[in-house]
Chains A and B, each alone.
Chain A
Amino acid sequence: MNERSVVGKPLPRVDGKAKLTGRAKFTTDVVLPGMLHAKLLRSPLPHAKIRSIDTSKAEKLPGVMAVITGKDTWGIRYGFVDTPNYPAEERPIAEDKVRFIGETVAAVAAIDPDTAEDALDLIEVDYDPLPPIFDPEEAMKDGAPQIHGEITRNTSCAWEDWGVARKSHSYTPVNNVAARVLVTYGDVEKGFAEADYIREDRSRSPGTSHMAMEPHTMVASWDPFEQKLDVWMNHMAWELKRYWLHKTLDIPLPKIRIHKTYIGGAFGGKAPCFDYEVICAFLSRKLCKPIKIELTREEVFSSCRNSHRFDISIKTGVKKDGTIVAQHCNVIVDAGAYKCSAPVAMFLSHGMCDCCLDRKNVRHEGVAVYTNKNFNFARRGHGAPQMRLAADGQYDQICEDLGLDPVEFLTKNLRKKGDVIPNGDRLDSYGLPEAIKKSAEAIKWKEKRGKQRDKNRGVGIGINGMFSGSGYWPFACTAIIRLNHDGTITLIEGDCEFGQGPDTTYSQIAAEALGLTIEDVTLVSSDSELCPMNYSNFLSGGMFVGGGAVYNAAIDLREKLLKVASEVMRAKPEDIELKDKKAFLKSNPKRAYTFTEIQRYHIQKHLGDPLFGIGYKKAVPEIEFYPSLSKGTGRFTDAYGFTASTAEVEVDRETGRIRVLKIVVAEDSGYEINTAVCRGQLVSQAVQGMSDALFEEIMDDEGRVLNPNLVDYEIPRAFDVPEIEIIDCSDFEPKGPWGAKEIGECARAAVISAVVNAVYDATGVRVMRIPVTPERMFNALKAQEKK
């Protein structure tokens, strides 16, 4: 296993031929015999009581098979967070009240989508409007309209089977506060007292859309004889979705099968439980027919999860030389109508960022606030991009104020490899210092920083750190490898393929360990009935946890093979090598036995064929249940990925238009299993980060989304993409498979800060509200001229 022949290479992806010939099955492509189509009636009001709903006309429309309202699903509750302190409050269909424009109030199943759509127009809902509230800071004031009354735990999807305590209590949110977090360490007051210079700043990151290309879709098919539900759906971890369907509809877990489909992009936006999923399964069971729900692009924008708007106040104290001595962050998260992942987001805005720099004395306060808007979930970084913008923008300004260089400032405050950070995580791999150095060199930092303002050009830098999976219970995976009779293997693992490449990279991990090629691997993945436990594909745990389980399974099979081979060959296992479906003596490669022969021997001598490899991996083995979200104590992750990004921009002072000339992403993602897949992840984040900095914002007026389509919600097109340079600064991660760790989420945040800081360097004007649209830039430049 010295020289690596399968991992570390840009091998073509195993899902390529299916995806490039149109044969890859996505959920939208699933058609079943007798399938009906369902459409959802959405609330036109942001906040209102439902007096009554009359569905009689819709029910009489020919072709309509069923109409359901909140009365049918009354009492069903679910949520991404459902713990004793934060019981779930989401519901599939509004009951007596609507809380945002776009909330589902009824659903129709019909013979085709047009009939279902026509029937929606015939449903009469009598609303009693209530005063709405849209701004989180206004919503927290005394006297503001209250969006939720008492939240009781009637049904739940708490993870009690997995260790979350059963004891729970009802609670009534006060001043629309959905959740709070407070993390402290060190002595913040003492730290500020020792500081030579203190700055306070505010920033805002808007709500954005994940904008996965495949609109959210589900097909459910209930078998009344077996009492079983077959499902094809958009997801990022079928274990979660299956658990939610089990809890909300009271169907036993083994009686729900989520079939493998390819997922047309996710970026966080397909992980939580959605109303349409519960409704789809509910209708299928009610009618004993397959049901398809395919959301429109407008519904994806206005009724599916977007990313959280964050308003952050940050106060930092530094010494004259730039050493950070204290920091106090106040984070306001706009949860929207239901809390969903908001309690996690405000905690993660600390958790993910604490690994980068040593800030010594920290106080991180967060509050998640209900508003009458569509609610939100993680998007690629979950809280980190918003926090890094606030921090890295402020550091940039502190350097300006004190005459320091931002690259030197960051370097001075770095943590060290091997450090144990305040929550107990140890930085076994820490490529951030090298990433900062190399990203600065690649953009020609020394030559350019502060020297191109006459040309309206500037450079900026941003950094970030990201978990490789976390202790969110039960964050663990199992993988099974079968040795086939011809010496090839079948890898059975649960991870789902939404573009990030696990089908390919996991096959590489297993092949490498057994001396095989990637063509020798048959893959069974992402099917809840065929695959063992898999919770890994969020918080960037895919490679580290899912890939780690595959690695452990492959090593298990390798050791078994070596043991049997040593019996056959009368040699020590350490003297035997595995290659080309053979075991041979290292000293005499001609003395070889094929895997088939070894297996035959094993059946003869050991009464059967147990040459299976089994591997397990848990994100943070020390976490027995789940970490405290409200206090942020305890371990977060076993390995962090790191990024430093630099960017160069040019600003047109006449129009406010910003052109990005170059983005550099220097990344420590551990050992790269597939270098082409890794590069794809980083380029992707460079473009998304640039887009966040300059383009993307969900615009709303009185709770109505104003840009719910791909014309008005701008994402980069081919001409917008600048030169992008990717630099591998990987540090070997001892706990990762072949040394690999996180790569999918870290870079986006660093790129946002780099672009925004570069805009400052080009103009001398700091805009701390993204996206920095031409209008915002132009107005900021005009305000500068007036001064």
Chain B
Amino acid sequence: MDSSKKTINVKVNGEPYEVSIKPKMTLLQLLRNELGLTGTKQACMDNSCGACTVIVNKMAVKACSVLAMQVNGKEVTTVEGLASKDGKLSILQEAFLEHSAFQCGFCSPGKLMSSTAMLEELENPTEEDIRRDMEGNLCRCTGYVQYLEAIKEVVRQRKEGSK
């Protein structure tokens, strides 16, 4: 074994992994290159676009700016972990589909993860909350409007459901 490598234990989408990695490897590289989870996208590599957003222990983070070593012992959720294994979309994914809240789809995984974390954290987010959450996720196709509508719809449904 390469002595410069370190071993980490991480749970990704509910499944435990033990991987031996170079210490400088980013979480994004771990997911895409080592674990083959290519749903998480790389678009800027400087923490500015949000395409690589994943959830680490309930917090949305940009995987290009987190070292893989930092997720040792933690739980990571990627876009591949949102739908159920037998093919049922999450409520948010369903809303994205219904509202055409994506076009080319390259930034969608990052947006889904960031909004999923926001919806977990905030019971009843306002439009401003939603926009603030979106600020970190660049999108060139949609102009954000249908995306915003999809999330508002999820919030509305959740409110009705809790009544």
Contacts and interface: CB of A to CB of B under 8 A. Distances in A.
Whether chain B is bound by chain A comes out as yes
Interface of A: 10, 12-13, 15-26, 28-29, 31, 210-215, 262-267, 296-297, 498-501, 676-677, 679-680, 683-688, 709-711, 715-719, 721, 724
12 contacts: A10-B100, A22-B79, A28-B41, A29-B32, A213-B41, A213-B106, A215-B42, A262-B104, A500-B103, A710-B138, A716-B144, A717-B138
Given A21-B79, A22-B37, A710-B49, 5 more contacts: A12-B100, A20-B102, A20-B109, A213-B140, A687-B143
A20 B145 contact: no
A709 B103 contact: no
A297 B46 CA distance: 9
A687 B103 CA distance: 14
Nearest to A675: B100
Interface in B47-62: 48-49, 51
Contacts of A718: 130-132, 134-135, 137, 144, 148
Nearest to A682: B143
B51 A213 contact: yes
Given A22-B79, A680-B100, A721 B143 contact: yes
B contact patch SS: loop
Given A213-B51, A297-B46, A679-B100, A22 B39 contact: yes
Contact of B109 (A22, A25, A215, A686): A22
A28 B138 CA distance: 18
Interface string B138-153: 1111111110100000
Given A21-B79, A297-B45, A717-B138, A679 B146 contact: yes
Contact of B135 (A10, A262, A677, A719): A719
B40 A211 contact: no
Nearest to B130: A718
A680 B97 contact: no
A31 B38 CA distance: 10
B35 interface: no
Contacts of B112: 20
Contacts of A686: 143
Nearest to B48: A710
A719 B41 contact: no
Contacts of B144: 687, 716, 718, 721
- The 5 nearest A-B residue pairs measured at CB: A22-B39, A19-B105, A264-B106, A499-B104, A687-B143
B3 to A, nearest CB: 18
Contacts of B146: 676, 679-680, 683
Interface of B: 32, 36-46, 48-49, 51, 78-80, 82-83, 89, 93, 96-100, 102-109, 112, 130-132, 134-135, 137-146, 148
A273 B147 CA distance: 33
A115 B138 CA distance: 31
A680 B140 CA distance: 11
B104 A214 contact: yes
Nearest to A20: B93
A296 B97 contact: no
Contacts of A724: 143, 145
Nearest to A712: B48
Given A13-B97, A680-B103, A711-B48, A28 B42 contact: yes
A687 B138 CA distance: 12
Given A12-B97, A20-B97, A680-B142, A501 B103 contact: yes
A711 B80 CA distance: 28
Contact of A21 (B49, B83, B98, B104): B83
Contacts of B105: 15, 18-20, 24, 262, 264, 499
Contacts of B83: 21
Interface centre among B38, B45, B46, B80 (most CB of A within 10 A): B38
A21 B80 contact: yes
B140 A211 contact: yes
Contacts of B134: 717-718
Nearest to A217: B42
A327 to B, nearest CB: 33
A709 B40 contact: no
Contacts of A19: 102, 105, 108
Contacts of A721: 143-145, 148
A685 B141 CA distance: 8
